[in-house]
Structure 1
Amino acid sequence: MATTQMRTTARLMLAPSVILLLIWMVVPLAATLYYSFQNYSLLNPITSFAGWGNYYYFLTDPAFSSAVVNTLLLVGGVLLISVVGGTFLALLIDQPIFGQGIVRILVISPFFVMPTVAALVWKNMMMNPIYGIFAWLLSLFGLPPIDFFAQIPLLSVTIIVAWQWLPFATLILLTALQSLDGEQIEAAEMDGAGAVSRFIYLVLPHLSRAITVVILIETIFLLSVFAEILVTTNGGPGTATTNLPFLVYTQALLSYDVGVASAGGVIAIIVANIVAFFLMRIVGKNLEA
């Protein structure tokens, strides 16, 4: 009897936060679903039922296919740089070096920089073709400067986003690396295994779960990259850096079409859930192994 009362009391205490969380999640989603079936423009307050017309318009938009490709390329590029670079940095930081604590703080610090600030710093200080640091470095070797956001816009955005997420991957992989049994490494060294063999057969399998977690978490957030694109390229040149979130933004605030933008938001949610579903299956299999 006492146990039942305690459970009831605990549920009543949790109820306000659960209800608030549901309202916070359900109301915006319900509003998005509603407007996705309406002809609603910010320039015309009168709405009418549109059926599946908004979805058809968004899916047949010439920029939709390039937005999907750009989204996948951006996510894949950032994951490749952050996982490979994070593994390398984790191995480097794990070594006993002078000022190890300061080095770790410096490596992790970019993760705490706001995306807008990071994009402005890279755009104006690093990648500017006139007075940027990269232009100055190229001039030392007698090479012409590169207009990053005109010549290689998607790669430039990928580098900026990867710079922000590299510390996260490094931190997770470093934590996993520190749990590796040192006796195994010593035994492998005594058996004559080289550094490459130890990395492939001991370190990498030990980091596999951490790498899977990094890929899962980063993918969920990278599917919604927006600020870096808005600040640096504004989706251009043309649609060269337009991803799904930015395409939704252009429909909502540049074309003033809330109905089509809401349909795009629903499609983006579906795509994100499909990706998350397959990633969760991969994570589950990895953890079971």
Structure 2
Amino acid sequence: MATRHQRSLARVMVAPSVALLLLWMIVPLAMTLWFSFQRYNLLMPGMEEFTGLENYRYFLTDPGFWISLRNTLVLVGGVLAITILGGIALAVLIDQPIFGQGWVRILMIAPFFVMPTVSALVWKNMFMNPVNGFLGQIARFFGLQPVDWFAQYPLLSIIIIVAWQWLPFATLILLTALQSLDGEQMEAAEMDGAGPVSRFVYLTLPHMSRAITVVVLIQTIFLLSVFAEILVTTNGGPGYQTTTLTYLVYTQALLQFDVGTASAGGIIAVILANIVAIFLMRMIGKTLS
């Protein structure tokens, strides 16, 4: 048992790091909050003034706001669906005794270490390009018209690129959970006459539920801030078809130089992200309880 003196000493030793972490978080947030109440445009120096909630009203009434919010939710939901379903399938496949299992696992995780900008460029120029891309070549081989992915299905293209990057992460987490499954339970179920589908539905999936919940939480936090893939491939277009909340804030700040409105958009994005995080944390709490 630690004495009161030892606990007090531990708090004193931890205090500097906690204070630094709070400053690291609070100072940028406080500055963003301050600018969100100001008319602050880099193209109009010297005309800064307090505007109250005007920036928030302007951002929320922007024609692209609700479209970008919808695109953000579709992007997050689409990537989660692909990575969860694909991760479960790949985890079950890799868990089987196959030749070169170690090398397969190493190759599986490789896309996760590719920088988002590089990944987007590879997909844009080497896979989805309708003239020289790999998918276009396959379409012409079968006598089909190549698909101009970023013109015809821009948001789907972004979802595919991001899902390709995050699929290895989901696979590894789910594979770890799958390997902790008690083999005796599976053998007992097989001896009782349960088929592969029944064993998967009633034993494997419930055992992986906690891992699935963790994957959903971690990926959602990062997917809400997807930016590089959109910038490199579509620039938020055509129109607003691939504009997310993150990209909309970027256009306000660095394309229109409107720091005030961009700050208001950033605060709104933080609030929405926290709402999602609270919902997911409650869902995880119920899963782990």
Q: TM-score range by the shorter chain?
A: over 0.9
| Shift in Å, 1:12 | 2.2
Q: How does 1:265-284 map to 2 (within 5 A)?
A: 265-284=266-285
Residue of structure 2 in register with 1:68 after alignment: 69
Residue of structure 2 in register with 1:245 after alignment: 246
Q: Which moved more, 1:182-191 or 1:3-12?
A: 3-12
Counterpart CA distance in 2 for 1:185 and 1:13 is 49
Q: How does 1:5-20 map to 2 (within 5 A)?
A: 5-20=5-20
Q: Match of 1:62, SS? A: coil
- 2:54 partner amino acid: G
Q: Is it true that 1:256 corresponds to 2:257 in the alignment?
A: yes
Counterpart CA distance in 1 for 2:154 and 2:136 is 16
Q: How does 1:187-206 map to 2 (within 5 A)?
A: 187-206=188-207
Q: Match of 2:237, SS? A: coil
Q: Which moved more, 1:39-48 or 1:63-72?
A: 39-48
Counterpart CA distance in 2 for 1:45 and 1:175 is 55
Counterpart CA distance in 1 for 2:194 and 2:14 is 55
Q: Match of 2:40, SS? A: strand
Q: Match of 1:129, SS? A: coil
TM-score (norm 2): 0.98
Q: How does 1:137-286 map to 2 (within 5 A)?
A: 137-286=138-287
CA distances 1:17-42 after superposition (whole Å, capped 9, x unpaired): 11111111000000000000000001
Q: Which moved more, 1:101-110 or 1:14-23?
A: 14-23
Q: Match of 1:118, SS? A: helix
CA distances 1:117-164 after superposition (whole Å, capped 9, x unpaired): 111111111111111111111111111111100000000000000001
Q: Is it true that 1:27 corresponds to 2:27 in the alignment?
A: yes
Counterpart CA distance in 2 for 1:18 and 1:280 is 23
Structure 1's unaligned 5+ residue stretches are none
- 1:95 partner amino acid: Q
Task: Work out the number of aligned pairs and report it.
Answer: 287
TM-score (norm 1): 0.98
- 2:224 partner amino acid: L
Query: Percent identity of the aligned residues?
Result: 72
Structure 2's unaligned 5+ residue stretches are none
Counterpart CA distance in 2 for 1:136 and 1:184 is 48
| Shift in Å, 1:195 | 1.1
Counterpart CA distance in 2 for 1:184 and 1:6 is 46
Residue of structure 1 in register with 2:44 after alignment: 44
Q: Which moved more, 1:187-196 or 1:33-42?
A: 187-196
| Shift in Å, 1:67 | 0.2
